[in-house]
Amino acid sequence: MPSESMVRFNRWQRIQLSLIGFVGCVLIRAIGATLHYQIEGWENFQRLKDNREPIILSFWHNQIFLATFFWRNRNMAVLTSQHFDGEYITKIINRFGYQAIRGSATRGGVTALLRLRKCLSRGQDLAIAADGPRGPAYQVKRGAPWLSRRTGKAIIPCHMEPKYFWQLGSWDQFRIPKPFSPVFVKIGNPLVVSDSDNEAISAGYYQGAMARIQELAENHWFPPAKG
């Protein structure tokens, strides 16, 4: 019998989802195991983990492939959309030890955020695509700052930059790293949104933090020309 989340899809869609889930899992495992990681800023993550503090890990949507393998088997809760693409993402990430929380800013958003807050309150880490399930690309959404303000837990910006990759024509320019590519992982300083910060200010801090580590990571492999 199909799960409750699968009932709304027809038989052909359910077959597609099963195939995509299997192929996606195999592809991520096969490529992910060949990649060579250079990590900068790991201490920003480890310091909070040593203090048993749950974190809100934040990365751009086009890095889901890399993030799924790199952060696997940590029992992180992940926000995914309630649409078809959210269903196949759920099927893939479940195989890597993540818990999917279904919802988005337009459908099931409030309920999903409350469930994510509950995950933080019981000590579970979160992984959130900063630009959401629908974009626009590289524009942060309100979810992570809302959660940080209401729980006091830190957002950890993260950017994963493969040196060689294929780029899809999707809205987020989704990236699939090429086998054996080196990957630079930049983990930023923790960002905690206080009660005194309004929504616009907190979104600005968050956007700035994500943009800074993105620029640093992109320049790691191909530094801008001087002069």
- CA 31 centroid distance within chain: 18
Between 7 and 212, the higher pLDDT residue? 212
Residue spans of alpha helices (H) in 132-179: 143-151
Answer with the residue of higher pLDDT: 206 or 109: 206
User: Quick one: which of 159, 191, 171 has its CA closest to 81?
Assistant: 171
User: Picking from 10-14, 74-78, 141-145, 183-187, which range would have the lowest pLDDT averaged per residue?
Assistant: 10-14
* Measured distance between the N- and C-terminal CA atoms of the chain, rounded to whole angstroms: 64
Please write the tens of the pLDDT for every residue from 58-88: 999 999 999 999 999 999 999 887 777 778 8
Residue 174's pLDDT is what? 95
pLDDT reported for residue 106: 52
For 139-167, write each residue's pLDDT tens digit: 999 899 999 999 999 999 999 999 999 99
* Global pTM value: 0.89
- Computed over every residue of the chain, the mean pLDDT equals 89
Question: How high is the pLDDT of residue 3?
Answer: 46
Alpha carbon distance 196, 209 (integer Å) = 19
